[in-house]
Amino acid sequence: MDTPTHPAPARWRPPLLWRLLQIAARVVVGLLARLRVTGDVPDALRHGPLILAANHISPFDPVALAAACRVRRVAPRVLATGGLFRAPVVGPVMRRAGHIRVDRRTDTVAQALDVAVAAVAGGAVVLVYPEGRIGLDPWMWPERGRTGTARLALASGAVVVPVAQWGAHEVLPWAAPRGLGRAVLRAVLRRPVVRVHFGAPVDLSGVDPARPGAAQRATQRIIDALTDELAALRPDEPQAPRHVDVTRPVDVTRRHRRGRVDAADDATATGPASDGG
């Protein structure tokens, strides 16, 4: 007797609304800044399955990333905070565009990972912020990541491409929409450079999903890769950035220590690390 087969799930296609919004983002970024996009994604993965892992420095960088992805002919499904989905106008748009809701600090937050894994399995490109928030590192380097992106990569087996971006903080401040009018006027007059770089895929070889602490080790590698790519975008700003956003608070409790998890694991090979977050 022949074994019954099941058809493969249909490949996800970006809705027309999302593709139009990416074009609109390209126009908006062009009015407020000078966009510079470097690097690329492998042709075979341009339409998925693929995970894009980006650093987060400003309320404007989702717009910049949407525009940069348009330049590179990528239309990702974005993991975004549940607050956006609850907004009167933005929420329906986010849902119709196919983005994925993440309700942080709730009992349902794990559902977002299941949805994201299914999205990648369906052939989508998924864009994730591994830090889980706009970073508050004093020098604006990537913070210690949460493990959601690593869990998604380990569960799906998809390639992770780090996407470093710099300059969006000169367009909109951390406190936006407070001070929005002043910030937009300043950006129109100065048109700061916003740089987005698609880096080489993150090497997650040797990270065994079945081994305790795997998500922590994979997270460390992803944030390390993001940090390396960002360093190339800001070589003349190795410490304090030139543009200081006075509305942005500082939090040193999640400062990233490069290579710490892998080094400790290789040296000691001790018991399980927490994969929470």
Q: What's the whole-number mean pLDDT along residues 11-26?
A: 94
CATH number given to 16-241+255-266:
3.40.1130.10
Q: Which pLDDT score is estimated for 11?
A: 76
> How would you class 52 by CB atoms within 10 Å of its CB: exposed for 0-12, middle for 13-18, buried for 19 or more?
buried
User: Residues 48, 127, 44, CA angle at the centre, nearest 5°?
Assistant: 20
Q: What is the pLDDT of residue 188?
A: 96
Look at residue 2 and tell me whether its pLDDT is greater than 60.
no
Residue 198 parent element (H or E): strand 193-198
Check whether 204 has a pLDDT greater than 80: yes
Q: Residue 269 has what DSSP assignment?
A: -
Per cent of the chain over pLDDT 90 is: 76
Enter the tokens of residue 191.
């048109």
pLDDT for residue 208 is more than 60: yes
How far, CA to CA in Å, does 224 sit from each of 35, 243, 245, 256, 258?
24, 24, 25, 9, 6
Report the share of the chain in percent with pLDDT over 70: 88
Q: Which amino acid is at 73?
A: R
pLDDT reported for residue 45: 92
Reply yes or no on whether the pLDDT at 6 is more than 70: no
pLDDT tens for 60-70 read: 999 999 999 99
pLDDT at 240: 87
Of the candidate ranges 11-15, 157-161, 240-244, 259-263, the one whose mean pLDDT is the lowest = 259-263
Q: What is the pLDDT of residue 9?
A: 52
Of the candidates 117, 155, 162, which has an alpha carbon nearest to the alpha carbon of residue 275? 155
**Tokens matching residue 21:** 């919004």
Residue 26 has pLDDT above 80, yes or no: yes
Residue 218 above 90 pLDDT? yes
The 3-state DSSP class for residue 181 equals helix
Instruction: Give one DSSP letter per residue of 124-167, joined into a string.
Output: -EEEE-TTSSS---TT-PPBPPPTHHHHHHHHH---EEEEEEES
What is the tens place of the pLDDT at every residue in 169-199?
999 999 999 999 999 999 999 999 999 999 9
The band of 262, judged by pLDDT with boundaries at 50, 70 and 90, is: very low
Among 2-16, 74-88, 255-269, which range has the highest average pLDDT?
74-88
The pLDDT tens digits of the residues spanning 109-142 come to 778 889 999 999 999 999 999 999 999 999 999 9
The larger pLDDT score, comparing residue 276 to residue 104, is at 104
In 3-state terms, what secondary structure has residue 79?
A: strand
Determine if residue 149 is left, alpha or beta; phi over 0 gives left, psi from -120 to 50 gives alpha, anything else beta. alpha
For residue 155, pLDDT over 90 is answered with yes
pLDDT of residue 47 exceeding 60: yes
* pLDDT greater at residue 81 or residue 26: 26
For residue 261, what pLDDT band results from cuts at 50, 70 and 90?
very low
Q: Are the CB atoms for 107 and 143 separated by under 8 Å?
A: no
Question: Side chain identity at 7, as an amino acid letter?
Answer: P
Which of 28-37, 74-83, 92-101, 103-112 holds the top average pLDDT? 28-37
> 275 pLDDT band (50/70/90 cuts)?
very low
Q: Specify the pairing of strand 193-198 against strand 100-102.
A: unpaired
Residue 270 has pLDDT above 50, yes or no: no
